[in-house]
Amino acid sequence: MQALAVEIIKQIDYNNKSIALRSDGLVKIHLNINEEVEITDVIEVVTALEQIGRGKKFPLLILSNKYTLPSPEARAYIATPESDPYASAEAYVIQSLSQKLVGNVFMKFNKPARPTRIFTSEEKAIEWLKTFL
């Protein structure tokens, strides 16, 4: 039996960010920047999530470019429950050693308030996120 293709139901694009509600119930966030992610970027994403999901919580698939890293302030903010009331879980797909190192610091010291995992495979991240639907 062939898997059904995942469609984009609704999408909001900013200069360097794309937030899309998928037909499988996940929200895909692509940070298309090669610089630090700041708190203002996080707030833009959360605003888009509110508009797309109308207040509902979704598992988030977060993708970025190889050199995209959150600033220390953004990491601390992202870990708080208040930072994103529309996320039921977060899966970050990383591409570089620097992202892995920052991700490990985030998980160990910032201790995210939501279920959060770091993956090197988008497929494995999606598989894990689907357990939160």
User: Furthest-apart CA pair in the chain: how many Å?
Assistant: 46
CATH, residue 31: 3.30.750
Q: What is the mean pLDDT of residues 86-103?
A: 96
Within a domain: 2: no
3-state SS, residue 18: strand
User: What's the rounded Cα separation, in Å, for the pair 69 and 77?
Assistant: 14
Note down the domain range covering 21.
8-132
Q: Does the structure show a pLDDT above 70 at 27?
A: yes
Q: Does the structure show a pLDDT above 80 at 3?
A: no
Half-sphere exposure of 117 (CA within 13 A, CB side): 15
Nearest to 114 by CA among 54, 33, 59: 59
Within a domain: 3: no
User: What's the rounded Cα separation, in Å, for the pair 99 and 15?
Assistant: 22
Q: Is the pTM of this model over 0.85?
A: yes
User: What's the rounded Cα separation, in Å, for the pair 118 and 85?
Assistant: 20
User: Which residues face 37 on adjacent strands?
Assistant: 70
Within a domain: 1: no
Q: What is the mean pLDDT of residues 73-80?
A: 96
